[in-house]
Structure 1
């Protein structure tokens, strides 16, 4: 994959730039957001935030993943979160994950589900066969999003010293599932 900009029904996806650092900092230093993301459940320090942001910008240069893309609605240029596909070495196998983080004021509005669905469709058009989501075992809302998009629980495993539930799916089947859902709206 390469540097991309995508759209869905309500969302625009754009690569981060240096000017987005303070928005990213607001996510990484919010205890509600980081509760299920950081290994210890705590917000990142300034130093961790800088390292994370630099690592994220480097992801735009590497192959199959989109990296995390800034999410905005069509009504506003204000970022609401980010979503993307990321490569992870998980249990000795390189796997493509679809993930998203949203600002708390944008939770429970269907944006996570919509973003993940669009990214899965994009990954499929780019020739990917399978996708996973890594979700904290206690993060029930994200588990619901994964299931709504057709992913199924595959296993629990350790990733970066944190127990995660792996939700997985075959992209061809998932994209048919998503297309059927969109036709019934």
Structure 2
């Protein structure tokens, strides 16, 4: 276990999480900001990348598990992302459709932000979100972030406008 909140446990993902992860990554509605659902191969590459991030960096996107049922309903965590020619620490999140509108993404994202500030001693944390992804932008705002910039990511052959949200450690009353 990496983090615990009132309703959630965040832990490193393993290969055993692949079916639950596919429920997220293979849903067109969930993955619209990525231009659609992932294939099985793309989902496995995604899982392998998270496992490697945890091994190499000590953090990555973690499995989000409901305490009540033990079900993995999403992933949330910290990754290094490219921004303005450098790397920034980002809080990212993806949840299965059935768990939307329960506040899980906000609860997990706030816990990850606090982890970044308190454990990793980060000075600032970002969320880089597709401009059409209003629900994720709302999570970033509830996580104390403000939109500071815009950028374009090129993914799956598409130029995707993104909004850059940020919160600084000194803005927090951890």
- TM-score when scaled to structure 2? 0.91
Moved over 4 A (4+): none
- By how many angstroms is 1:143 displaced? 1.1
Where does the alignment leave 5 or more consecutive residues of structure 2 unmatched? none
Alignment partners' CA distance in 1, 2:84 and 2:135:
25
1:26-50 CA-partner distances (Å, limit 9, x unpaired): 21110011001x1xx1111122112
Match of 1:26 in 2: 23
Matched, 1:71 2:68: no
Q: Does 1:6 align with 2:3?
A: yes
Aligned partners of 2:37 and 2:88: how far apart in 1?
Answer: 26
Which residue of 6, 11, 14 corresponds with 1:17?
A: 14
Residue matched to 1:97: 90
CA–CA distance in structure 1, aligned partners of residues 42 and 49 of structure 2: 10
TM-score between both structures, scaled by the size of structure 1: 0.86
- What's the counterpart of residue 183 of structure 1? none
Q: 2:44, 2:109 → 1: CA distance?
A: 25
* RMSD after superposition: 1.4
Please give the per-residue CA displacement for 1:136-169, whole angstroms capped at 9, x wherever unaligned.
Answer: 1111111111112210011110224422111111
Aligned-pair CA distance for 1:171: 2.4
